[in-house]
A and B are shown apart, each in its own frame.
Chain A
């Protein structure tokens, strides 16, 4: 108990704002939500104190042990009408501002730019579809090392809320986010921006925000999506428009450099080196770096029939996933990445298929 007292007492001033309340709002919608919450909270507290002061008065004064005799009154139409009608009007008072905010939240028209967020088990992919930065596309993975999660290394400042590639947006612009998913339901949430939108496989939904100040805004997947639901954060980096233009230029030149000639023939060593990286980024989360998997949900690849059998079937399985299991489709990876990772799986651990898959073969197997 003492610990609790200490904890509440010692809450520093810098924390006070977000420790017991919503995060400080950083977008116009988040500000409206913050104000709505305060309004409703204050009304609730007033009613609560009002109603329960009657109850506690009765508990103190109307107890048998102080000799209070029970009155036998019951039913009073006037009182009953009053306590039905007054709450009704209070509710209208709350509904009015809420309605205005709902309409504003749902207005995704005339955005300055549009970004598609695609959820995968368990990472996010972003495609800049419209506006400045159009054509940029990347994946965003949890950047927290496993050692921190398992406790063998001390946890960093942004533990579990850090990614390798954040979503970069300019401040003061209306950014429309389209959400969809590759496998199961996910949700794209950034509390400080007042945004939460489910990502639904096979459907596109949208939401929007306008970051008011430069800063890093962190969120997480909010809809249970399986084993690593807690490990697919969202980081939005809001920057001044000039810095944004700079970022766009850099991202585009990086993207141009990474395009591989589809007809290039790789050597086994090249494929193995690339494959190991792709495997670590996409596959090891379930099948483990050791290839031993976590059977039965996540089977071992070491010695598996697929990884030691015909290579076309192996490529196809990775391309289209396996229905009714956690094995998703990885068609979003490039031909080179897929060729490399399949080659890697066929020639690692105890697997000695000895064959290699070229990007052109993957391309041919895509429908």
Chain B
């Protein structure tokens, strides 16, 4: 990050060292903080995944006890969703939204600082919860009541962590919405915004709509635990299923909170390396918006087995299947963008194509799961685990990798090593599929998720999956090496390393981007 530092304006006084990062209100510094925080959490959550996969390497209990296993699956989920993937895309938002929309910075720089610095304490609460009496929350990342009412104080720490993470997300979203709506360069009307900016505008609205709902759900759990309420206790007139309705009213839009910014990154990368404009800009905007709206209408498809009336099952099935239409439109658009382009395959493009290919597979397994009777058969099995890892990892994570390789030259002024980047892609691609493809078979054969030990017929695929997981994990350490090497000793990046990239940060700003982007707004024709 030294390169960025060097561009500071001489007449301004900035604290240096650690205080620079603690007090910073600069969108680029904060974006950097988000990205490093997210990568750190990605490693922590990754270690937890490897503990899970070590236990599942063969049948029998070898590595951890069942209670600790449950703590690992819970924390792995929470940390990856709230600590790794979401902050990664907020990091992209911080770096890119002002530069791509011609704004000088984010609309509320001080609040921006606060939104970031809420994250480390929340992450600490989650990690500390491992060491309190009773250990961390062990009810799965979905935190279903009434199991959560039984747990020790680790659950309370988790609840507070979720509260803090929610506050951070809401403040971040307010900032993003205000920046996009008010600070765009003159002439950049809404339908000229780059798609990445559009997707974040939609995502930020989703976040503001659903994070308070999650906060409500965990607060109700807290009062059930300590203050004598019975929201989720039938004996007191409550209903355990109520928790699931509230949780998934948050949880389903959450899936799109993660996926939609990923769509945004891919929609920048694919046209750039196809040297061809996005095929259907307008239809992409409408498709993304429809996905966002539909995401509020399908939450109960996560809970068909709670025993809903037949009408409810039908409604949620039809609504869920409908999401396939706008999702299909997006996939068709990306493929049509590549069609008759002039394609090159640098690392960002490889990850974008990897995203397109694997995310579509995750979409199809989603379509399989949208069929209620099939979902009831596969609910809570490894098929679902495979499905959401295709969407979350091959979807969101691949897109984040594409974004890092794509914008790293702009951020640091240095190029990553292209050969190493390609190696990273292929290792990630292969090991991802080794890990997760076989989990479809496990789920079809009926292996439940969240179990530390399993029947013998599941042994072979679990062993393959565990081998894949270790390969996948190591490939990401390699990614760290590639990024550090680029920052420290990468070749100097040309002004426009990507021939086909035509958004403002490439056309109107030098490389590396100056500390303050647009002190006078650019004029958009």
- Residues on A facing B (Cβ under 8 Å): 3-4, 7, 18-23, 29-30, 32-33, 36-37, 40-41, 44, 47-48, 51-52, 54-55, 58-59, 62-65, 68-76, 79-80, 83-84, 87-88, 91, 94-95, 98-99, 101-103, 105-106, 148-151, 155, 157-161, 183-185, 187, 189, 191, 194, 196-198, 200-203, 205-207, 218-231, 294-297, 324-326
Contact = CB atoms under 8 A, between A and B. Distances in A.
A281 B372 CA distance: 38
Interface string B410-437: 0000000000000000000000001000
A71 B341 contact: yes
Given A51-B360, A185-B144, A200-B240, A150 B61 contact: yes
Given A20-B444, A84-B328, 4 more contacts: A21-B441, A36-B373, A160-B454, A185-B147
B120 interface: no
17 contacts: A19-B457, A48-B364, A52-B360, A63-B342, A71-B276, A74-B276, A87-B324, A91-B322, A105-B373, A155-B59, A200-B240, A202-B234, A224-B70, A226-B147, A297-B67, A297-B134, A324-B150
A200 B341 CA distance: 55
Contact of A226 (B138, B152, B338, B455): B138
Top 3 nearest A-B pairs by Cβ distance?
A202-B234, A230-B451, A205-B307
Nearest to B328: A87
Contacts, number: 300
A7 B459 CA distance: 11
B318 interface: yes
Contacts of B379: 196, 222
Given A55-B356, A203-B234, A227-B67, A33 B373 contact: yes
Contacts of B138: 226-227
A321 to B, nearest CB: 10
Interface string B269-307: 000001111111111000000000000000000000111
Contact of B338 (A20, A36, A58, A324): A58
B149 interface: yes
Contacts of A191: 377, 445-446
B467 to A, nearest CB: 8
B495 interface: no
B474 interface: no
Contacts of B314: 99, 102
B331 A51 contact: yes
A83 B328 contact: yes
A75 B336 CA distance: 10
Contact of B380 (A223, A231, A325): A223
A159 B59 contact: yes
Given A84-B329, A150-B60, A297-B135, A226 B367 contact: no
A91 B373 CA distance: 15
Contact of B450 (A19, A183, A229): A229
B453 interface: yes
A325 to B, nearest CB: 6
B212 interface: no
